Structure 1
Amino acid sequence: MMETMKKTENNPLLEQLQQPDIQAVLVSLLQNLPRFEKNLEAMGNIASFGQAVLQNKQSMQKYDELVRSYNINLETLEALVGLLEKLPKLLKQVEQLENFIDFTTAILADQQTIDYATSSIKSYTEPFLKKGQQGFSLVKEIQQQVQATTKPLKLFTIMKWLKDPNVQQSLKFVQATLTVLNKKAD
């Protein structure tokens, strides 16, 4: 036994082979050898096919015609490299766009969400619509009053209106507007 230990100490290869993890790797390698052989054979077949295509003048002529049909120059190659450099950023943008489209599609497919959005929009716009309708009805009522009145306006009637606080406020507003506009014009 002492002799075996001395042989092991002197031979580093035998020391390596006695390690369990090395033994496990070797067993796995031996088990996979048939698969490795098939893969090497397939690569050899591909290489043989490539050589046959390169030696076939007719195939090479078609390939040459195809390459010549494209306008590939230095500028085109630089643009291609630039585009390849930007692909990660473009991919992020496309993914964001895709997420937005998926989100929008999901919303449009969900009737409950559409109803909620419609009611929310309606609650915001309803006060403005009511004010607009009130303003429209006020204008309509004023037009009807103007058409119904046939009496001509008199100077004393206008003077009486000047005492009304609403007319006074409106005239002050007109006066202030004219003052500001005159200052801006100078």
Structure 2
Amino acid sequence: MPHTAIHSDDNKDLLHELKQPEIHQALTGIIHRLPEIERTLQSLEQMTQFSMHVTKDQTTMKALEERLQLSRVDEESLEALIALLAKLPTILEMVEQIEKIALFIKHVVHDEQSMEQIKTSIAELPFVQQQKEVKDFFEAVQTRHKSIEQHISIFTIIKWMKEPHVQKYLKYMQATLDVLKAKK
């Protein structure tokens, strides 16, 4: 009788546990997934049987050994592979960041408003402004050159030589010639 009382108490505890909603939901979920679990177990069993047959097949095992010997897989290669595998999470993060950047750039390129904003920002950069000023300067010189119709005389050249800017550039030319002469 005492053994039956203990057994009865165990059944009551089990029934009490089964009546709890989270236990009931978990069991229901497992019951619904039983066909999938069975398929997975059968698949594992088939793979195990296949592996056992392959390892027992001497021809296949010899071919595998020969391939491994020819592939030059040595300790250093395996260590490198393990090190690479250890770095895969970091590499994955980097690739994901690159994907995000590429996607962002793609969206920006296809957005007309963003592209206009970028063009405006680039046009306002100091070096772009300087390039524009240099271009405008050379265009003005070119235009002025075409409009000069008079003949340049020796007296005009002598007059130019008195200009401070011309003197400055002539000194640069003289210094350049002196340096080139000294190198010979």
Q: TM-score, normalised by structure 2?
A: 0.60
Return the match for 2:10 from 9, 13, 16.
13
CA deviations on 1:16-74 (whole Å, 9 max, x unpaired) are: 31323477459549846953555444432322222112122222233222222211111
CA deviations on 1:103-148 (whole Å, 9 max, x unpaired) are: 2222222334333323443354357414542355248747987x73
The amino acid of 1:59's aligned partner reads T
- Aligned partner of residue 73 in structure 2, secondary structure: coil
**Is 1:54 the counterpart of 2:60 in the alignment?**
no
CA 1:29/1:87 → structure 2, altered by over 3 Å: closer, same or farther?
Answer: closer
Unaligned stretches of 5+ in structure 1? 175-186
CA deviations on 1:132-165 (whole Å, 9 max, x unpaired) are: 42355248747987x734153799x79xx6xxxx
Give the number of equivalent residue pairs. Answer: 161
Q: TM-score, normalised by structure 1?
A: 0.59
Identify the range of structure 1 (52-61 vs 79-88) with the bigger mean alpha-carbon deviation. Answer: 52-61
Q: Distance in 2 between matches of 1:86 and 1:131?
A: 51
CA deviations on 1:79-126 (whole Å, 9 max, x unpaired) are: 111111111111121112112221222222233433332344335435
Larger radius of gyration: 1
Unaligned stretches of 5+ in structure 2? 172-184
Q: Distance in 1 between matches of 2:54 and 2:118?
A: 63
Q: Distance in 2 between matches of 1:41 and 1:154?
A: 102
Q: Distance in 2 between matches of 1:152 and 1:82?
A: 81
The amino acid of 1:121's aligned partner reads I
- Aligned partner of residue 155 in structure 2, secondary structure: coil
